[in-house]
Every structure is written in structure tokens, then in C-alpha cells.
Amino acid sequence: MDIFIHFLHIASAMFWVGGQLFLALVLGPVARRQLAAPQRMPLTIAVAQRYKRLSHVALALLLFTGLYHVRYVFISSADSFLSTSYGRLLSIKMGLLALSLVLGVLHDRKWGPALARLSDRPESPEFKSAATQMIFWARIHIAVTLTVVACAAGLRHISF
């Protein structure tokens, strides 16, 4: 059972992180170079909406399987979050994951909809400003998410 849970955790992380990287490093740049704004926005919105639905499933699996793995830390004592290297790194990972979730919610509820509302005016200063803001925060979000992955890699090399 532990192997299957670990597999789900890794596969969910791959989808969640890989999807963010695909959107930022592949879809966005290619769409900006190859498509005019009237064609670019519907495609980008459709792909992002599809990814969002699937990524929420992956994220739920990631949280569930992560909590399953962490049960050992909770069982031993709450002290172990601060008294061990593993616990401290796990605490950092969980804090960064929480930050990543907040940034994801802001993207889904604020920055993305603001850009979509302005998509019929892609040359307007408002659209360009909203796009610049969304790209900035998307980069921050990806950096935080990759730091979560780095913490996860570190946890594999620390004894509990």
C-alpha cells in the first residue's frame, strides 16, 4: 500500500508541477509568437481551464498522499517538527506548499479572470498591465512550487 500511495504522490506532483511548467514555458511563449491575440486568448483560456480542473484532482491526491506519508511525524510528536532536521525541512515544505496554494487561488480567482475580462482588448494598456502582473506572479508561483519539489528531494535524504 505504501508503494502505491508513494506512486500516486509522485505522479500527482509530476502532473501539477509539470503542467505549470508546460503552461509557462511552452504554451505561453509559443502562443504569443505564433498566434494573434484574438486566436491566442481562447486557446490559452481553454487549455488553462482544462489544466485547472485536472490539476485540482492532482493537488487533492498530492495533499492526501502527503498527509498519509506525514502520519509518522504526527504520531511521534509535534515536537519532531522543530527538533529534527526532517521535521524542520518538512515544515518548510508545508509552508511553501501553503504559499503555492494561496498563489494558485489568487491566479484562479483574481489574475486569470482579470486578464480574461480584458481579452477582447489585447492592445489596451489595461490588458498589458494585467498580463504583466499575471506573468510576474506565475513566475513567483513556479519558483515557490519548484522549491517545494527541492524540499521533497531533500526529505528523501534525511533520516527521521
Give the total number of structural domains in the chain: 1
> Has residue 56 been placed in a domain?
yes
Mean pLDDT of the chain: 90
* pLDDT tens profile 77-110: 777 777 888 888 999 999 999 999 999 999 999 9
**pLDDT confidence of residue 72:** 65
Q: How confident is the model at residue 74 (pLDDT cuts 50, 70, 90)?
A: low
> Has residue 160 been placed in a domain?
no
* pLDDT tens profile 126-157: 999 998 999 999 999 999 999 999 999 998 89
Domain range for residue 6?
2-155
> Has residue 75 been placed in a domain?
yes
Share of the chain above pLDDT 90, in %: 61
- 160 or 47: whose pLDDT is higher? 47
> Has residue 116 been placed in a domain?
yes
> Has residue 109 been placed in a domain?
yes
**pLDDT confidence of residue 123:** 86
> Has residue 58 been placed in a domain?
yes
Three-state SS annotation for the chain: CHHHHHHHHHHHHHHHHHHHHHHHHHHHHHHHHHCCHHHHHHHHHHHHHHHHHHHHHHHHHHHHHHHHHHHHHHHHCCCHHHHCHHHHHHHHHHHHHHHHHHHHHHHHHHHHHHHHHCCCCCCCHHHHHHHHHHHHHHHHHHHHHHHHHHHHHHHCCCCC
The answer on pLDDT for 159 being more than 80 is: no
**pLDDT confidence of residue 109:** 92
